[in-house]
Every structure is written in structure tokens, then in C-alpha cells.
């Protein structure tokens, strides 16, 4: 499985977590073959493996297994271990998946979160900058924690975000976000050799962790006296605001750095009033 793992990392450029799942799926499949040789595998064995796995795990778990199996079978064909590309024999699995309506926070709550930060202190300036980055740019908490000084082009007003995998996206740097970051860097950030923007407020002065971003949001909620929310709700807030402003989904997808419009499509359900305009009136006298 070592060569398959290297292929996923170097050729496919997949993130470590996905690679672990794909390798596990391939190992499960090969183990299930027993004494049979991989070169003798046919479509029937692939289908049987998917059916067997689907009886053990959830729909999403089966879908992940199929993705890993397809990648493994394609790899085996490319490497000459299989004479036929059997990846298409691993048929996709469908199933109803409940997706909750994405929720942002009210504008008043967002203002209260920012207002709760005591910007007379270094910690308050850091929290303010962190929160406004999430509210205005929709960064994930890992992206906030990983933001580096070199990612900010002050002259061009651009912020480079290192996202999932090896993605690096350029986002415009709004003036208020730039001012908040600059205020923290000049009058709040501890002296340190690290290049990450956001640093721990107490020694050792190291980059903050993802969990610190989440706890910062929760602390701000408590200070502001608003309902406690997770850091991802701030990302939803920015996206929901864009929907309300009638920004096209394609542009929202670019800002959120989604790989496909399917991930962004859930936000089309946010503007309920607009969706009601699309509904046809119920025929009079019809069954309800």
C-alpha cells in the first residue's frame, strides 16, 4: 500500500486525512480477496465489495469507501496490476442526507462580538482582528490559525489564504480588516520569531491553534451576552450576507473557496422570502 499512498500524495495531491481513508478502503478490499490474486479481480468482486461494505457502514461511509476503492482500482490499472480499468465498476452510492439550513448570526450580534473586544489591550486587538477576519472574509478556523505575515500584500490589498490541500487563494483585503490586523501587529502582537499572524497572548509566544480560534469566538459570545456559537457560524454569516445582497452563487463559491458549486448551493435555501416568490400558487379546490 506504500506505493498507492505515495501516488495519492504526490500525483493526486490529496490531503493526509483523505489519503488515510483511501488506503484503508484499499486495504479492506484487498484483505477481502483472501487468497485470490489482484490480477484476477473482475467487476463482480468490486460490486460484491461495495455491497458488503454498505451493509456495515452508513451511506456517507459507503460513499467514502467507493471513492477510495475507485482511486485504488484506477491506480492498479495505471501501474499494470490490472489489465482493465475496473474503477467504473465501483458504482456510486446515493442516499438521502439531511442538510440543515446554514445559519449566520444577526448583524446586531456580529457588531456585539466585535464591540466586546477591549482594543486597549493586546489580547483585545488580537481577538478583534481574528473575529473581523472571519466575519468579513469567511475564513475557516484552520485558515485563520495558519495565516502568515507573508500572506498579506499590503500594497495590493490582497490576502493569500492557504486552504484545503495545496490550494492558495487570493482574496481582497477590506480596509477595516486591514486596519484591524495592522493595529494588532503594531500594538498587540508579542515579539516572536514565528511568521504566523496570530500569536498566543502569553508565553511561550507561539502561533495559536485551531482550537484557540474556536474558543475566542465562544468567549466573545459570552462577553457580548449573545447566544454562544461555533466559529463556523461566522463563515456562514458572511455567506448569508452575500446571498441577501443578491451576489451570484458562483461568486460566493469563489470567496468561500469551494471546490464545486454543489457545496455552495445550500446557501440558495437561505433567502426564504425570495424562494417563496418562485413557488406557484396552489390550485383552488385542489387536494392539500
Whether 202 is catalytic is: no
The whole-number pLDDT of residue 215 equals 94
Whether 98 is catalytic is: no
What is the helix, strand, coil percentage profile of the chain, to 5? 55, 5, 40
Among candidate residues 140, 189, 233, 236, the one labeled active-site is 140
Residue indicated by cell numbers 482500482: 73
Distance of alpha carbon 13 from alpha carbon 37, whole angstroms: 29
If one counts every other C-beta atom within 10 angstroms of the C-beta of residue 229, the result is 19
The whole-number pLDDT of residue 277 equals 47
Would you give the distance in Å from CA 192 to the centre of its chain? 29
The whole-number pLDDT of residue 7 equals 84
Domain borders along the chain are 2-89, 107-272
Taking the whole predicted model, whether its pTM rises above 0.85 is answered as no
Whether 232 is catalytic is: yes
Among candidate residues 119, 136, 235, 257, the one labeled active-site is 235
Whether 258 is catalytic is: yes
The whole-number pLDDT of residue 127 equals 96
Among candidate residues 53, 119, 257, 258, the one labeled active-site is 258
- For domain 107-272, the CATH architecture is Orthogonal Bundle (1.10)
Q: Which contacts (CB < 8 Å, 24+ apart) does range 115-122 have?
A: 115/224, 116/220, 116/223, 116/224, 117/220, 117/223, 119/183, 121/188, 122/184, 122/187, 122/188, 122/189, 122/190, 122/201
With residue 233 as reference, give the H or E element that holds it.
helix 232-244
pLDDT in tens, 129-159: 999 999 888 888 889 999 999 999 999 999 8
If one counts every other C-beta atom within 10 angstroms of the C-beta of residue 93, the result is 18
pLDDT in tens, 186-208: 999 999 999 999 999 999 999 99
Q: What is the CATH number of domain 2-89?
A: 1.10.150
The whole-number pLDDT of residue 26 equals 86
With residue 180 as reference, give the H or E element that holds it.
helix 175-187
- C-alpha grid cell, residue 163: 486552504
The whole-number pLDDT of residue 100 equals 52
Distance of alpha carbon 117 from alpha carbon 125, whole angstroms: 7
From 141, 153, 139, 171, select the one nearest 239 (Cα to Cα): 139
From 77, 71, 80, 66, select the one nearest 6 (Cα to Cα): 71
Among candidate residues 12, 148, 164, 194, the one labeled active-site is 164
Give me the residues of the chain with pLDDT under 50, please. Answer: 97, 261, 272-275, 277-279, 285-288
The whole-number pLDDT of residue 253 equals 63
Amino acid at each position: 500500500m506504500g506505493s498507492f499512498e505515495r501516488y495519492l500524495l504526490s500525483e493526486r495531491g490529496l490531503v493526509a486525512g483523505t489519503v488515510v481513508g483511501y488506503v484503508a478502503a484499499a486495504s479492506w478490499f484487498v484483505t477481502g480477496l483472501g487468497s485470490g490474486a489482484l490480477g484476477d479481480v473482475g467487476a463482480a468482486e468490486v460490486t460484491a465489495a461495495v455491497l458488503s461494505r454498505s451493509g456495515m457502514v452508513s451511506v456517507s461511509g459507503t460513499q467514502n469507501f467507493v471513492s477510495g476503492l475507485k482511486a485504488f482500482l484506477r491506480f492498479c490499472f495505471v501501474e499494470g496490476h490490472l489489465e482493465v480499468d475496473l474503477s467504473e465498476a465501483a458504482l456510486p452510492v446515493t442516499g438521502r442526507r439531511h442538510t440543515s439550513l446554514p445559519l449566520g448570526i444577526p448583524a446586531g450580534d456580529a457588531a456585539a462580538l466585535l464591540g466586546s473586544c477591549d482594543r486597549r489591550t493586546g489580547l483585545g486587538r488580537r481577538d478583534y482582528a481574528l473575529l473581523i477576519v472571519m466575519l468579513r472574509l469567511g475564513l475557516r478556523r484552520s485558515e485563520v490559525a495558519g495565516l502568515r505575515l507573508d500572506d498579506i500584500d499590503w500594497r495590493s490589498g490582497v490576502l493569500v489564504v492557504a486552504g484545503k490541500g495545496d490550494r492558495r487563494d487570493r482574496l481582497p483585503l477590506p480596509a477595516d480588516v486591514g486596519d484591524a490586523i495592522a493595529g494588532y501587529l503594531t500594538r498587540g502582537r508579542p515579539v516572536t520569531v514565528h511568521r504566523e499572524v496570530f500569536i498566543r497572548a502569553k508565553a511561550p509566544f507561539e502561533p495559536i491553534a485551531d482550537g484557540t480560534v474556536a474558543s475566542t469566538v465562544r468567549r466573545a459570545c459570552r462577553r457580548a451576552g449573545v447566544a454562544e456559537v461555533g466559529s463556523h457560524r461566522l463563515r456562514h454569516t458572511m455567506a448569508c450576507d452575500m446571498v441577501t445582497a443578491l451576489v451570484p452563487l458562483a461568486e460566493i463559491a469563489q470567496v468561500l473557496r469551494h471546490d464545486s458549486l454543489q457545496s455552495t448551493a445550500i446557501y440558495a435555501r437561505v433567502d426564504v422570502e425570495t424562494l417563496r416568490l418562485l413557488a406557484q400558487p396552489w390550485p383552488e379546490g385542489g387536494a392539500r
